[in-house]
Amino acid sequence: MVKSCDASMLLDTVGDVVSEKSDPRSFGMRNFKYVDTIKEALEKECPSIVSCADIIALSARDGVVTLGGPNIEMKTGRKDSKESHLEFVKTLIPNHNDSIPSVLSQFNSVGVDTEGTVALLGAHSVGRVHCMNIVYRLYPDVDPTLDPDYALYLKKRCPSPNPDPHSIEYARTDLDTPMILDNMYYKHLLQHKGLLLVDQELASYPTTSPFVEKMANDNNYFYEQFSRAMLALSENNPLGLDNGEIRKNCRYVNKLE
């Protein structure tokens, strides 16, 4: 989403580089150590061949399959950014409480249409969300669009209106099939059990609600649209060798290695 599929998000703060990870919109990103492990193994076998951007894209592909989703045939050959794009994170990364028109506009700017955007948000079928991104729907009053029983569950997971961002205070996005990428996400939206505001508004916004209903009723259709959108996102403005490089270490541009 930020400029291109170029692994700029992996860069640590060092020298003149200020990491995109330092922005609040990057809250919750973790386990970069696994990317480091993959990169180290690749550099031993075929040095300076596989970019960190390709590692991210192919790891996403394999993660989808591991979670029971479709196999997506992704292209390779991306190059890595030589700079961080911290200044663009706030404007290019959708936020959990952004309006649907804003989210649609942001995804459309990288080649993902409305149908594809609804499908990509289906990735919320797995994973969990920190309470700090939920409590505004629970306190001081419960969001009336929330199913009352679901709201009670969320209040048990998030008992304070001021959660500690450094504590393990999370709620799962899907209580029925939490580790399967499937269309249960859309079924929950129709039951008013969308965890984030942007989730729930998908089911009520006129442009997106028909796709929510169709994906809730047809898991294969969801997979088809999810695969199409993932491909579009993975091919967003890839860097060529003139503008990018293949980092030796995914955390640093080569001149700082």
CB 118 within 8 A of CB 200: no
Average pLDDT along the chain? 92
Share of the chain above pLDDT 90, in %: 75
Give 2's pLDDT tier (boundaries 50, 70, 90). confident
pLDDT value, residue 243: 83
Q: Is the dihedral of CA 180, 212, 150, 26 positive or negative?
A: positive
CA angle 105, 133, 88 (to 5 degrees): 40
Is residue 233 a contact partner of residue 5, using CB atoms and an 8 Å limit?
A: yes
Specify the long-range contacts of residues 30-35, CB closer than 8 Å, at least 24 apart.
Answer: 32/250, 32/251, 34/59, 35/10, 35/59, 35/250
CB 239 within 8 A of CB 4: yes
> b/e for 12-49, b at 16 or more Cβ within 10 A?
beeeebbbbbebebbeeeeeeeebbebbeebbeeeeee
pLDDT in tens, 106-165: 999 889 999 999 999 999 999 899 999 999 999 999 999 999 999 999 999 999 999 998
* Predicted TM-score of the model (pTM): 0.92
Q: How far apart are CA 121 and CA 215, in angstroms?
A: 11
Residues 212 and 218: their CA atoms lie apart, in Å, by 10
pLDDT tens across 177-220, in order? Answer: 999 999 999 999 999 999 999 999 999 999 999 999 999 999 99
